[in-house]
């Protein structure tokens, strides 16, 4: 007897977990791209370029936001994890 074909779409819970995993995989690349932004600002002292203090505030603020996002994604993955996956 032939096996029943699998449905072409994932259920909502599984789809949500996969999207959260995708976001967790992209977070380091996004963080790296955002950490390079101050290099595009130009040298301090040029007209319109922010100073060193603004760059440091940006870097530490971004660092804190990336930590918070990683913690949130980790918590979401832990709460929605299935025990039957390898």
Query: Which residues, in sequence order, are bridge partners of residue 46?
Result: 44
Residue-by-residue pLDDT tens, the chain, 86 positions = 577 777 677 788 888 899 999 999 999 999 999 999 998 888 877 887 888 889 999 999 999 999 999 999 999 999 876 554 54
| Within a domain: 57 | yes
| Within a domain: 59 | yes
One-letter-per-residue 3-state SS of 19-57: HHHHHHHHHHHHHHHHHCHHHHCCCECECCCCCHHHHHH
| Within a domain: 60 | yes
| Within a domain: 15 | no
Question: Which has the closest alpha carbon to 28: 78, 81, 67, 55?
Answer: 67
CA–CA separation, 57 vs 38, rounded Å?
Answer: 11
| Within a domain: 66 | yes
pTM: 0.76
| Within a domain: 75 | yes
- Our count of domains for the chain comes to 1
| Within a domain: 12 | no
| Within a domain: 62 | yes
For residue range 6-27, what is the model confidence (pLDDT) as tens digits?
767 778 888 889 999 999 999 9
Structural domain including 71 reads 51-80
């Amino acid at each position: 007897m032939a096996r029943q074909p699998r449905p072409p779409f994932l259920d909502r819970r599984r789809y949500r977990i996969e999207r959260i995993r995708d976001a967790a995989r992209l977070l380091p690349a996004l963080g790296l791209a955002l950490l390079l932004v101050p290099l595009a600002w130009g040298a301090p002292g040029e007209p319109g370029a922010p100073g060193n203090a603004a760059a440091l505030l940006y870097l530490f603020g971004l660092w804190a936001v990336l930590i918070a996002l990683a913690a949130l994604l980790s918590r979401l993955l832990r709460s929605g994890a299935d025990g039957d996956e390898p």
